[in-house]
Amino acid sequence: MRVTSNGFSNNLVTQLNQLLERQNRLQTQAATGQKVTLPEDDPAAVRRILDLQAESRTNTQYQGNIARLKESATTTFSALQGFKTISDRAGEIATLADGLKSREELNAYATEVGNLIKQAVQLANTKDRGNFLFGGTRNDGPPYVATSDPDGRVTSVTYQGNTDIAESEIAENVTVGLQSLGANSSGNGPRGVVTDSRSGGDFLNHLISLQSNLLSGNVAAIAATDRPQLARDEENILHHISANGVTQSRLETTRNLAESRGFSLNARVSQEADADLAQTLVQLSQSQTAYQAALQSGARLLGNSLLDYLR
Amino acid sequence: MLGLFATLNLGARSLATQQQGSEVAGQNLANVNNPAYSRQRLAISTSLPVPSMIGPQGSGVQSVAIVQLRDALLERQIQSETSVSGSLAAQQSALQNVQTQLGEQINTQNTDANSTVAGQYGLAQGLSDLFDGFQRLSTDPGSPSQRQVLLQGAQGLASQFNQVASRLDGVRTTLNNSIQSDVDQSNSLLTDIAKLNQQIVYSEAGRGGTANDLRDLRQQKIESLSKLVNVTTVSQPNGGLDVSIGGVTLLSGISQTDRLETYDAGGGQMLVRAQTAATPLTLTGGRIEGNINVRDGALATLQASTNQLAAQLITEVNAIHRGGYDLNGGTGLDLFSGTDAASIRVNAALVTDPSRLQMSGVPGAAGNNSVALTLAQLANKKVSTLNDQTFSQKYSATVAQLGQSLSSMNDQVENHSAVSRMLETQRNSISGVSLDEEMTDLVKYQKAFQASARLINVVSEMLETVVNLR
């Protein structure tokens, strides 16, 4: 084929452009470590990456949810431990208060129980990040309101929360309700920590009853009624403590699963998006060599013409 | 026998011919860098022989014509390929623009310390942020700070939708403007071609031969026009060229019979028609067609998809939110207002008072999160109007669809440019100027000129000898 002066230079320019474009693409890949950046690079991969990234973000959010729930569960656990301590001491007092004790001693016990009641009401009104833990979903106000007599003794308590608990998602379509209710006398749904009709627990009222029996010196009633009642309360509290432990370990397991899922999602994103550096660099050096060769040969040929030899 | 005087004439004719030859070579050399130029050759032949005793005797040389070396078939092919490549290049550039304006990029380098998933902030991130906000609020429905975070996420997403909508609308406007300016340019090219037709017909009618340089110029204009719109050309015996577009004749010989114009086919959809016609022209190539194609194809699909996504999001979120209760027991408010990507906004009442976000399923229970939870679970819901995809999936499918259009367009452009390059190389090998050839020709004509001059010299000496005979 006949090759003309400009035809030759035009071809050279086109070839150089192609080589430059190729080098630029490879250089971008090497610098970013990604073979896919824009949708045009690999539409199918971009779709998979976007889906995986959305999944990964959701997965991260699940981990956030779990962390938040775990925080609440830990706070609940401390409060339950507090109840357990109070219950232990109340049980002890109920056992100590027998017919051998003087009225003064019984009064002293009554004062101690009075303090335990106040402490228990305080625990029942425990807050976590501004929310009352034991009020069900009505958690913007204290679940327990105590009524006191002129001596400052708590004579009755009212539960103001509800029996509804909030469910949170910890994995796709897996929701858990971890809240502990203060009271549930309905006989279904989650059990109450302080008052529960199924286990017969009614901790605060039982403490109040102990207090009034101590004050009146009715040791018989303490032995016959209060002691067994407090034992049921203790059991109920222990039930909640162990349930809380199970919950925490469930959260931990789910968190570990979510974490490893996160790793595998990231690995899949990187599989789709990341450039094989070794391959990219080899290709880059190949096209660099081609570019240099084209430049060198082109420059040598471009300068030659018949004009150099005619006089 | 010619005789000495006739031989002197022979020498003079030869001198003139060689001189003309070097003039043509000079013309070729001068136009070596003119892309519209086709190389020319001086056609020479022996002049009329003179009868003599020993038979007809040659009387030297004469130049017959200056011919242009061009291949009409190849040029026709180039012309139609120019239309195709004009259309493809326009589509590629428009789609690249759309891709840029959509602003979705994959970035796996994690630069944000707060997130384990990196990514350019785009709609994909915005959607995740909204649903993550619902998730966080579901673990803490009464929290004022989480409510604020959710509202920020929702506002971020809404403004992201607004931006994408307005940027895509900007691309649409740019394409319409470009169609308008291309139509104007086509009309002015048609006028130029009509003028050139006239000049060619007049200059070839009188003296015969071809108006090479005018034809070069006309071919260049035709190719420029082909880049904008696919044209069909028919050569006339008198040298004129008829031009029609999509079956409508716009140029007949030396007269321009029609012009192109844009018109609004409804809804701001600019189409092209001939001024005398009411219906749009059928365009199959050229930049105008490419721009219309992207505007009414990939861009329209993308706009429809983002609008559908926004509309569905507004409907689904509002339907759930409306039934919830805020921290004060209020109900019935929408979370989003608007109907599509351009109009989506977060309800201003909620922005001023985040406690009015209706996250509770029952009144008077601040800790009830059933609405927040249902909204959070919307992230994984397969929505039937989005072809049973989740919101995120619908969006990534939309991005992938655009990527697919652009990627296949890139391939087409690449394949086609190989064809164009080949045709161009072929044309160049026929019509292009070679410096080496022209230099050789120049030397050839120079030597012949010198030889002819020598002949005249010799004949002159012979004449002197004859005149001085004693």
Chain B interface, best mutation among A51, A52, A308, by max B CB count within 10 A: A51
Q: Is residue B140 part of a domain?
A: yes
Q: State the average pLDDT over residues B202-218.
A: 86
User: Is residue B116 very low, low, confident or very high in pLDDT (cuts 50, 70, 90)?
Assistant: very low
In terms of pLDDT, which residue wins out, B153 or A311? B153
Q: Is residue B362 part of a domain?
A: yes
Contact between chains at A6 and B395 (C-beta distance less than 8 A): no
Same domain, B437 and B398: no
Residue B117 scores a pLDDT above 70: no
Same domain, B57 and B168: no
Structural domain including B453 reads 3-69+432-467
Same domain, B351 and B415: yes
Please write the tens of the pLDDT for every residue from B4-44: 899 999 999 999 999 999 999 999 999 999 988 999 999 99
Please write the tens of the pLDDT for every residue from B174-203: 999 999 999 999 999 999 999 999 999 998
Q: Which of B109, B139, B380 is closest, CB to CB, to A68?
A: B139
Interface of B with A in 333-392 (CB under 8 A): 360, 362, 364-370, 373, 376-377, 379-380, 392
Q: What is the pLDDT of residue B110?
A: 57
Contact between chains at B135 and A65 (C-beta distance less than 8 A): yes
Q: What is the pLDDT of residue B114?
A: 44
| Residue in B with minimal Cα distance to A68 | B139
Same domain, B102 and B20: no
Same domain, B191 and B59: no
Same domain, B293 and B407: yes
Residues from chain B that touch A311, judged by Cβ atoms under 8 A, are none
| Residue in A with minimal Cα distance to B430 | A2
With CA atoms as reference, report the closest residue to B164 among B92, B103, B95.
B103
Interface of A with B in 166-185 (CB under 8 A): 166-169, 172-173, 175, 179
Q: State the average pLDDT over residues B195-224.
A: 90
Same domain, B305 and B438: no
- DSSP letter at B266 equals S
Q: Is residue B363 part of a domain?
A: yes
Query: For all residues of chain B together, what is the average pLDDT?
Result: 91
Please write the tens of the pLDDT for every residue from B255-302: 889 999 999 988 788 899 999 888 888 899 999 999 999 999 999 999
Chain B interface, best mutation among A16, A53, A160, A176, by max B CB count within 10 A: A53
Same domain, B370 and B249: yes
Spatial distance between the Cα atoms of B116 and B76, rounded to a whole number of angstroms: 58
Min Cα distance A39 → chain B (Å) is 4
User: Is residue B233 very low, low, confident or very high in pLDDT (cuts 50, 70, 90)?
Assistant: very high
Same domain, B175 and B34: no
Query: For all residues of chain A together, what is the average pLDDT?
Result: 92
DSSP string, chain A: ----HHHHHHHHHHHHHHHHHHHHHHHHHHHHSBS--STTT-HHHHHHHHHHHHHHHHHHHHHHHHHHHHHHHHHHHHHHHHHHHHHHHHHHHHHH-STTS-HHHHHHHHHHHHHHHHHHHHHHT-EETTEETTSTT--SS-SEEEEE-TTS-EEEEEE-S-S----EEEETTEEE--PPEEEE-SSSSSPEEEEETTTTEEHHHHHHHHHHHHHHT-HHHIIIIIHHHHHHHHHHHHHHHHHHHHHHHHHHHHHHHHHHHHHHHHHHHHHHHB--HHHHHHHHHHHHHHHHHHHHHHHHHHT--GGGT--
Q: Is residue B424 part of a domain?
A: no
Which domains, and CATH codes, for chain A?
A: 54-266 (1.20.1330.10)
Q: What is the pLDDT of residue B120?
A: 56
Same domain, B362 and B451: no
Q: Is residue B20 part of a domain?
A: yes
Min Cα distance A2 → chain B (Å) is 5
Q: Is residue B318 part of a domain?
A: yes
Please write the tens of the pLDDT for every residue from A182-206: 999 888 888 999 999 998 899 999 9
Residue A81 scores a pLDDT above 70: yes
A137 touches chain B (CB under 8 A): yes
Same domain, B169 and B318: yes
Residue A269 scores a pLDDT above 70: yes
A274 touches chain B (CB under 8 A): yes
Please write the tens of the pLDDT for every residue from B439-458: 999 999 999 999 999 999 99
Residues from chain A that touch B379, judged by Cβ atoms under 8 A, are 58
Interface of B with A in 154-213 (CB under 8 A): none
Same domain, B234 and B262: yes
Q: What is the pLDDT of residue A154?
A: 92
Residue A222 scores a pLDDT above 70: yes
Q: Is residue B425 part of a domain?
A: no
Q: State the average pLDDT over residues A301-306.
A: 84
Q: Is residue B225 part of a domain?
A: yes
Q: What is the pLDDT of residue B344?
A: 96
A69 touches chain B (CB under 8 A): yes
Q: Calculate what percentage of chain A has a pLDDT beyond 70.
A: 100
Domain count, chain B: 2
Could you tell me which residues come within 8 angstroms of residue A258 by beta carbon, excluding any fewer than 6 positions away?
A: A59, A62, A63, A66, A170, A171
